[in-house]
Amino acid sequence: RHDQCFFPLSVGGGGGEMALPLRVAEMTTQPLSELYRLEGKIGEGAYGVVYKGICERSRQVVAIKSMKTNREAFGIQMDVYREIKILKELQHPNIVRLLRAVISRDEENGGPATPKSDTTDSANKKPSLNPGISLSVVYSYAEHDLSQIIHHQKNLKKKFPKRMVKSITSQILKGLAFLHRNWVMHRDIKPANILIMGRGDDWGRVKIGDFGLARIFQSPLRKLGSDGDVVTIWYRAPELLLGAQHYTPLIDVWSAGCIMGELIKVSPMFPGDDKKKTKTKPYFYHNQMDMVTKVLGSITKDRFEYATECQHYQHVKSNPHQENNLHTFVDIPRNSSEFKVLEGLLCYDPQRRPQAAEILKHEYFKEKPLPSTNVFDVAIGEAAANYPFKELQRIRAQKVAKPLPSKRAASKSMTDRTKSGVPNSRRSMELPRRNPYDRNTRVEASRESREYRGSRDRSGGVYPRNSGKSSGVSRGSMRYDRERGGRTDRDRDRDRDRRRDDERDRDRDRR
C-alpha cells in the first residue's frame, strides 16, 4: 500500500541536505502518464512546470505541478517538501486542495534522462539517495487567478462591482484566518496566488494557492528573517521592508489589504521598482518604501512604535514628512465602512493591525450587498462580466536525435543510389527525360555522346553546345507541337521540378 509507505527523499539545498521521510495520504510511484492525460502547459516557474490534466479514472480536471529536481543535493527542494507537508494537513473551502503526489523517474514523466554524472556525488563518491527522481504534485484545478481577472477588468476600463470586491476580500480573509489559527504563515499572498474556481460545485470560490514560502511559526528554531526575502515586493509589509528579523502572520493581513485596494482601484497600490535598492545585503528597497509613504504618510514612532529598532529605519527617518491621503488615492469616503476595513488592513504597526478573524467581524461584511461564496454573483442592477479562462500552451514533443550513419554506410548509399530512382551522377541528374522515338531527341543524344557538356537556357533545359543548325532546332527555343512529337513547356517544367527534387534528395543524403 503506497499510502502507508515511507519514501526517503533527500530534502534540502546547497551543501547541507538531510534525508527526511515523506508521507502523503495519496502517494504513488505509478508513472504519471498512466494516471493523467496532459491537456497543456499553464505556466512555468523557478521550481517546476504546471500543467492542466485530466484523471484517466475519474475524469476530474486537475493541475499538475511537476517539480524540478535539485541537482546539487540530488533531491527535492525544501520548499516543495514544506508545501506538501502543510497542505496534506489543511482542509478548508478557501485553501487549494492537495490530491496526490506522484514520485517517478524523469524518463517516465517525459523529461530528460538523468545524466550519469548526476547519479553520484563527485565530492564524496557516494551514490545519491534518488538519482533521476522527480516529484509531481496534483491539485484541484482552478480556471482563473485574480491577477488575470484584474488585468481583464483593467482592459475593460471598468471598476469591479462592490459585491465582488467584498466577496473576494472576505474569502481571502477566511482562508488566512484558518491558516493563522493552525500556526501557518503563507508569506506570499498576491493576486497570482489567489485562485478562483470555474464552473462546477465550487464555481466562483476563492482558493489560496502556492504554499512554497509557507511556514509553521508555532515554535521556530531560528529567526524568521534568516529565511531571506519573503512576499512579492509590491505586497510586502512595512516591517519586512524595514528589515525586521522577527515578524508575525500579520504580514499576510497587509498583503490582503494591498489586494483589496487593488480591487477597488483596478491597479496595484504600491508598484515599486525592485531594482532600486541598496548595493549590499540585506537590501533596502527605497523606491518601494517611497511608494508606500506617498499614500499612507511618513513612518513615525507614533504610527509604528518599534520602527526605530529595525535595521533599515535609518534610511527613512530623514525623509520629509508626508500626510496620509489613502481616502483620496482610492476615492472612497473617509467615514465609510469599506474605507475603515482597508485602513485597518494597511496599518503600519503590526501590533495595532487587526487579525484576519477580527476583520471578518466588521460591519462592512454584514452590510448589503452581502458577500457571496460565488464571487461572480453581482447585486441586482449590476452587469455581470465574463472573464476569460487561463491560456494553455502546447506541450512540445521532445525530438529524438537520430544517430549519424557510419562512413561505410554513407559511401554505400552514395554509390548505390540508382535503386531508389535517384540519379547517381551529375550528368544524369541534369539531363531531362526525353522521348527515345523522337528524331530530334536522337540527334541531340548522339551529339551529347560526343560533347557531353551542356548549357542551360532560360526554361531550365540542358542542351548540347552549337546544336542549332545540325539538328534543325534553334538553341534556347525548343518549342514543339504535340502533333510532331516534340517537347512542350509543360514537359520542361515537369523535368525541372524532378531535377530539383533529385538535388534535394542528394543534399539530404550527403548531410
Query: Which residues are known binding-site members?
Result: 65
Q: How is residue 321 written as a grid cell?
A: 514628512
In 10 A of CB 157, how many CB atoms?
A: 7
Nearest-CA neighbor of 50 among 257, 209, 256, 161? 209
Binding site for ATP: what residues are annotated?
65
Active site residue 202: no
Buried b (16+ CB within 10 A) or exposed e, 259-297: bbbbbbbbebbbebeeeebeeeeeebbbebbbbbbebbb
Do strands 27-28 and 98-105 pair parallel, antiparallel, or not at all (unpaired)? Answer: parallel
Q: What single-letter DSSP state applies at residue 54? A: E
Is the N-terminal amide bond of 320 cis, ω within 30° of 0? no
Going from the C-alpha of 230 to that of each of 348, 356, 397, the distances in angstroms are 18, 19, 36
Cβ–Cβ < 8 Å for 261, 159: no
Nearest-CA neighbor of 18 among 60, 81, 67? 81
Q: How is residue 37 written as a grid cell?
A: 492525460
CA torsion 340-342-346-352 (nearest 10°) is 40
End-to-end CA distance of the chain: 53
Going from the C-alpha of 268 to that of each of 205, 235, 252, 292, 329, the distances in angstroms are 22, 9, 16, 11, 12
Residue 395: CB partners within 8 Å, gap ≥ 6? 38, 40, 41, 51
List 103's β-bridge partners, or say none.
135
List 419's β-bridge partners, or say none.
none
The catalytically annotated residue of 79, 188, 252, 491 is 188
Q: Which ranges of 122-268 does DSSP label H, i.e. alpha helix?
A: 146-156, 162-181, 238-241, 250-265
Nearest-CA neighbor of 27 among 17, 19, 37, 35? 35
Active site residues: 188
